[in-house]
Structure 1
């Protein structure tokens, strides 16, 4: 699996983001391409410490460990995975703004490396290593880029 920390893997994701267009249709799910990019910004903002979410402690206890395993394993995500309510986008973002901001957040991963990660205690998954954070972020971006055929 590629790494967002590594410049080559990071550029690979950026190149795929660049292939998105405002009229790109999803192969599954209900998000528009702009909503998807807005959605993809949020987990990056969580690890950078600029977005804060709270998870019900019971949900964390019941599902946190299993969800962490799914997000950090080598297996790709399945279609139709549930989205945390905090990450749902219920408006239509400006395409160019969402694209530019997502690219900036992805670039930061490689540019700042581990020093850019401010939150390693995930609200649902619990304590995560930098490698687990990298895998989870990569898989999430890859999943949604595939959703839009890039």
Structure 2
């Protein structure tokens, strides 16, 4: 078992060696994708187009349709169109935020959504018509990218910069699309 200092030293050596460890980026590589890159938005929209109401769930409790509504509700909340219960604290605003937005680690499964957009708890927009709700999500992605500004508050990460919002937008969509194998 490695002690804290030994473990940190070993991780630092991994980073210096450039073996793809957390946070390493080679020349011209991005550690995480972002909606700042138009190709990332195209990718998400293509994957969203492959999502079906009966796409098999890989983890969690939401249906594909509930995930579409959850993603739309989260974007609407960021843009001030929906109320969400903040659950941020020092740890989530610093450590969790950095890991979630600045490393290539996949987000963990089973993190409970903030109150107001928790589809499993029956909160948020009820699923109605799948195609319409999916088209609404694609349109919300476009509006989010065009309007998001630095300093707007995330329910878990607190106020974040525009660049971080664009990473969050991609990573949140990616997380839930992977939930259904898309």
TM-score past 0.5 threshold? yes
How far apart are the structure 2 equivalents of 1:95 and 1:85? 23
The secondary structure found in structure 1 opposite 2:53 is coil
- Report the counterpart of residue 115 of structure 2 in structure 1: 85
Shift of 1:62: 5.3
Deviation, 1:63, is 4.8
Mark the runs of 5 or more structure 2 residues left unpaired by the alignment: 1-31
Aligned residue number for residue 139 of structure 1: 171
What does 1:1-150 align with in structure 2 at a 5 Å threshold? 1-55=32-86, 59-61=87-89, 63-65=91-93, 66-74=95-103, 75-89=105-119, 90=122, 91-110=126-145, 112=146, 116-117=147-148, 120-150=152-182
* TM-score under structure 2 length normalisation: 0.69
Q: For residues 49-95 of structure 1, what are the alpha-carbon distances to aligned partners after superposition, in whole Å with 9 as ceiling and x for unaligned? A: 2223232xxx4335532442343232210122222222112244321
CA contact (8 A) 1:47 1:120 kept: yes
Question: TM-score, normalised to structure 1's length?
Answer: 0.82
State whether residues 3 and 135 of structure 1, in contact with CA within 8 Å, keep that contact through their aligned partners in structure 2.
Answer: yes
| Count of paired positions | 143
Aligned-residue offset at 1:107: 2.5
State the SS of the aligned residue for 2:88: helix
Could you say which structure has the larger radius of gyration? 2
The offset of 1:27, in angstroms, is 0.8
Report the CA distance between 1:101 and its aligned residue: 0.8
Counterpart Cα distance in 2 of 1:76 and 1:69 = 13
- Please give the alpha-carbon distance, in whole angstroms, between the structure 2 residues aligned to 1:64 and 1:80: 16
Provide the aligned C-alpha RMSD in A: 2.0
